[in-house]
Structures are given as C-alpha cells and as structure tokens.
Amino acid sequence: MAEWRRLGNREIVELATRLRAFDWSWKLADVPALARAFGWQVRTTRPDWVLLDTGFGVGSGRVHGRSGNVQGIEVQVTDYAQRQEQVRDAFADMTGALSVALGNPTARMPGESAEVRWADGEDTVQLMVVANTLQMHLARNSYLAARDRAIELEKEGLM
C-alpha cells in the first residue's frame, strides 16, 4: 500500500500565505494564471467553477464563483486516509502551524467535519476536515457570510 501523503507544516503555511498574498483579479477567467503560479493543472472549466489537480490528483482543487467572480479556492492538502486518526493528527498539526503563522484562529467549529478559520480583511483561510481528507480553502468573506447564514437558516428549518 502506498504511503499516506500530506503537506508538511511548512508547506501548509506557505500555501496559505502565498494564496492570501497572491495579487490577481479574483476573476474565474484568470484561474489559469493562478494555477500556473502555484504549479497546478487546470482539468475542467465551467462557467462557475474550475477543477484543478493540485498534486493530490484530478479534482484535488476547485475554484468556484458566480457571474465570473471567484468566491473561493479549495485545495486538498492530504491524501484520502484509511484511518481517521491520520486526518485528526494532520488537522491538529496544521492548525498549530497555521496559528503560529496567521495568528489565533477567528473561529473554531469542532465535530466530525471540524473547521478552523483565520479571517482577514476581505478573505478567510479555512482548514477543514472533509470526510477522510483535509482541505484548505481561501474564501471571500462576503461569500462565507452568506454561506454561513444559509447554513443557519437550514438548521432552523427556514430553508
């Protein structure tokens, strides 16, 4: 069986800080330039999303948006794990490393689909457990606020 891969702590910090600092238009049409800058491959392009290979296979990255504007960038940062403790350990390690680099998290959502956020200016870095892998997202704060509100309305049975 192949060894389970994950970004190291230095790599996750570099990814988060480079993504946050990357100077670009936040337009879906410019995702190929973003992909080139990060060494990623564009696999599929649709009007409201672009599928990427970020090093963990086809579909390991996704950029989504609306009306040509990017709302978020999603990057898989581990292989799919056979054991959930691999994901938990990597989540704890990466959260610690990102906290040193980005400061204390601005939000923590514990649970099976745990998430930690570092909000700043116009965007938020998110480290998330997604089933048996970890993803790092960079989302526009306006998109994240609307998404969070929709989730709350759904929990309240209003959606």
What pTM was computed for the model? 0.92
What mean pLDDT comes out for the span 23-32? Answer: 95
Assess if residue 141 is contained within a domain. yes
For position 1, what pLDDT does the model report? 52
The structure tokens listed for 10 are: 């230095």
Assess if residue 1 is contained within a domain. no
Any residues with CB less than 8 A from the CB of 82 and at least 6 apart, and which? 1, 4, 132
Assess if residue 110 is contained within a domain. yes
Tell me the backbone φ, ψ of residue 49, rounded to 5 degrees.
-160, 160
Q: Which residue range is the domain that position 37 belongs to? A: 9-155
What mean pLDDT comes out for the span 6-12? Answer: 97
Assess if residue 3 is contained within a domain. no
The per-residue pLDDT for range 84-120, each reduced to its tens digit, is 999 999 999 999 999 999 999 999 999 889 999 999 9
Element (DSSP H or E) covering residue 29: none
pLDDT for residue 70 is more than 80: yes
The structure tokens listed for 66 are: 């609306």
What mean pLDDT comes out for the span 12-39? Answer: 96
Number of domains in the chain: 1
Report the share of the chain in percent with pLDDT over 90.
85
Assess if residue 4 is contained within a domain. no
Q: DSSP letter at 14?
A: H
- Mean pLDDT over the full length of the chain: 94
What mean pLDDT comes out for the span 119-123? Answer: 93
The per-residue pLDDT for range 11-20, each reduced to its tens digit, is 999 999 999 9
Angstrom distance (rounded) from CA 63 to CA 32 = 10
The structure tokens listed for 125 are: 């870095």
Asked if residues 137 and 125 have their Cβ atoms less than 8 Å apart, the reply is yes
Assess if residue 109 is contained within a domain. yes
